[in-house]
Amino acid sequence: MIERLRARMRARPWLSLGFALAIGLTAFFAGRAVLHSVYWADARHLDQPIEGWMTPGYVAHSWRVPKSVMIEVLGPPEEPGDRPTLKEIAAARGIPLEQLVAEIRAAIALHRAGAS
């Protein structure tokens, strides 16, 4: 049986390579999904105190609010794919980090009050 498989692989090497690549990509993305699920299922990562090293997306995940809530407070990113930290956003706005964190907390509280 193994010899028949090897013979088929030798007969169509590009097809075999494509199949191996598909299996590899599937394993990679499945692994990422599992790691993401395990990380956010841990209660220590939920409702974390908001700090300057966090990105808006991280805060949205941790506090379980839609990213649109963060975009309302912080505005859209300047460039697509840009992921600045809260400290960088506060510096760009010229405001203290504590003020930015207070604005984020108020938006989260408003969203949660409306969702209840």
pLDDT in tens, 94-110: 999 999 999 999 999 99
Q: Which amino acid is at 49?
A: P
Side chain identity at 19, as an amino acid letter? F
Tokens of 11: 């007969």
Residue 44 — very low, low, confident or very high, per pLDDT cuts 50/70/90? confident
% of residues, the chain, pLDDT over 70: 98
Q: Which pLDDT does position 5 carry in this prediction?
A: 80
pLDDT at 116 over 60: no
Mean of all residue pLDDT scores within the chain: 90
Q: What tokens were used for 20? A: 């191996």
Q: Residue 34: pLDDT above 60?
A: yes
pLDDT at 88: 93
Its pTM stands at 0.73
Task: Let me know: does 67 contact 110? Beta carbons within 8 Å.
Answer: no
When pLDDT is averaged across residues 82-92 and rounded to a whole number, the result is 91
CB 73 within 8 A of CB 103: yes
Q: So what's the pLDDT on residue 42?
A: 84
N- to C-terminal Cα separation, the chain = 60
**94 φ/ψ sector (left φ>0, alpha ψ -120 to 50, else beta):** left
Exposed, middle or buried, 56 (CB in 10 Å: 0-12/13-18/19+)?
buried
